């Protein structure tokens, strides 16, 4: 199929929002920018449209999608029970990179929830995303707009790399600000549980939910066949095509380690870049984890082009947004961690 490219400069913005909404209302699938990563959107009320999203991405059927809304009224249409802690989080973190899992009201198509009785809801802050949701009048199911298993796309060119010819349109905007997917918290358990870290940090969540539980899957590999609270966490994810290792620890410097290895490339911090003599990409500064989040997925994509046989990635600290970056990298590395 021909994938329409919809421009969002001042001259084309309104037309493109209208066109995207029209395609979505007709059951089409459209990649849209958000502040986290690009999403592949479909009407959450249209099971056939949602199935096209799973097909285009090659996404496993048991991995549910997040529903995107532009106004708080949407929450009450989609979710059946909204505990006070969830409302408090919505007031504090919406619109923004925060998703809550709640009991489903049964209004969205069954495949959105992948057969679960819960639904994940988020209100994005990105103005283009909000305009498209409002113009369509629909809740939009939108997973990341990549081929399943590949790094999530943080610019329209990466969406096109994976999905050109497979989807109805791409809304072309700039780079996503945050760079990693939303924080996911489930409120259907007795004590709320962090399923996926993101730009809304564990530290911020603890201010509202002091006893919040960090799900095991955030930092460790789920055991084979084990039941996981967040189905998405059990799959290989975000991976470059080249074999990737996450490197942490202080025994030896990261630069010395990679410099001694043959046919490798490095994803490193600005601070150490000068000392590294193998092909390398800087993915931010270790002083500010937000810069690492912003660039981690583009660095993982570009790393494949360095022509190495192995990629070593310097692990960030696990504080603040660093936890989200670490969570994505340990999956990109298929849980292969080297401690120096």
Question: Does 144 sit near Mg ion (CB under 5 A)?
Answer: yes
Which residue's CB is nearer to Mg ion, number 208 or number 334?
Answer: 334
Which residue's CB is nearer to ligand AMP, number 25 or number 103?
Answer: 103
Among 87, 328, 63, 192, residue whose Cα is nearest residue 202? 192
For the bound state, the minimum distance from the C-beta of residue 230 to ligand AMP, rounded and expressed in Å, comes to 4
Which residue's CB is nearer to ligand AMP, number 63 or number 259?
Answer: 63
Question: Does 201 sit near Mg ion (CB under 5 A)?
Answer: no
For the bound state, the minimum distance from the C-beta of residue 192 to ligand AMP, rounded and expressed in Å, comes to 12
Two tokens at 161?
A: 């790399």
Whats the size of the chain, residue-wise? Answer: 340
Two tokens at 183?
A: 């924080």
Binds 259: which of Mg ion, ligand AMP, none (CB < 5-8 Å by kind): none
Measured torsion, CA atoms of residues 260, 264, 267, 270, in degrees rounded to the nearest 10? 40
For the bound state, the minimum distance from the C-beta of residue 120 to Mg ion, rounded and expressed in Å, comes to 12
Measured torsion, CA atoms of residues 203, 205, 206, 207, in degrees rounded to the nearest 10? 100
In the complex, the residues that contact ligand AMP under the rule CB under 6 A are 63-66, 101, 113, 116, 118-120, 143-144, 181, 184, 186, 195-196, 230-233
In which residue are the tokens 């790393």 written? Answer: 303
Which residue's CB is nearer to ligand AMP, number 281 or number 300?
Answer: 300
Binds 116: which of ligand AMP, Mg ion, none (CB < 5-8 Å by kind): ligand AMP
Which residue's CB is nearer to ligand AMP, number 79 or number 278?
Answer: 79
For the bound state, the minimum distance from the C-beta of residue 40 to ligand AMP, rounded and expressed in Å, comes to 9
Distance between CA atoms of 141 and 216, rounded to whole angstroms? Answer: 26
Residues 6+ apart with CB under 8 A from 86: 100, 102, 187, 192
For the bound state, the minimum distance from the C-beta of residue 135 to ligand AMP, rounded and expressed in Å, comes to 22
**Where would I find the H helices in 233-321?**
254-259, 289-303
Do the beta carbons of residue 262 and residue 149 sit within 8 Å?
Answer: no
Binding residues (CB under 5 A) for Mg ion: these are: 144
């Amino acid at each position: 199929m021909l994938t329409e490219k919809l421009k969002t400069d001042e001259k084309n913005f309104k037309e493109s929002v209208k066109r995207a909404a029209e395609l979505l209302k007709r059951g089409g699938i459209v990649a849209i920018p958000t502040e986290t990563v690009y999403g592949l959107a479909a009407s959450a009320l249209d099971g056939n449209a949602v199935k096209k999203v799973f097909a285009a991405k090659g996404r496993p059927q048991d991995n549910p999608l997040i529903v995107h809304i532009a106004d708080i009224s949407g929450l009450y249409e989609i979710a059946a029970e909204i505990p006070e802690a969830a409302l408090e989080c919505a007031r504090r973190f919406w619109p923004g990179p925060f998703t809550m899992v709640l009991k489903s009201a049964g209004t969205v198509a069954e495949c959105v929830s992948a057969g679960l009785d819960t639904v994940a809801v988020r209100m994005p802050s990105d103005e283009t995303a909000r305009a498209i949701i409002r113009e369509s009048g629909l809740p939009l199911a939108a997973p990341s707009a990549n081929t399943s298993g590949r790094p999530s796309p943080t610019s329209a060119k990466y969406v096109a790399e994976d999905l050109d010819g497979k989807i109805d349109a791409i809304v072309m905007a700039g780079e996503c600000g945050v760079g990693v997917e939303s924080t996911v918290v489930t409120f259907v358990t007795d004590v709320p549980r962090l399923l996926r870290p993101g730009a809304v940090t564990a530290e911020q969540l603890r201010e509202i939910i002091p006893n919040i539980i960090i799900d095991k899957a955030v930092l460790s590999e789920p055991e084979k066949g084990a039941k996981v609270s967040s189905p998405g966490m059990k799959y290989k994810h975000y991976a470059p095509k080249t074999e990737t290792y996450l490197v942490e620890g202080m025994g030896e410097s990261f630069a010395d380690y990679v410099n001694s290895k043959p046919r490798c490339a490095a994803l490193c911090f600005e601070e150490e870049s000068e000392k590294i003599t193998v092909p390398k990409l800087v993915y931010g500064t270790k002083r500010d984890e937000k810069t690492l989040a912003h660039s981690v997925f583009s660095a993982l994509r570009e790393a494949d082009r360095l022509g190495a046989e192995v990629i070593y990635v310097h692990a960030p600290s696990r504080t603040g947004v660093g936890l989200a970056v670490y969570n994505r990298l340990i999956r990109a590395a298929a849980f292969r961690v080297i401690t120096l």
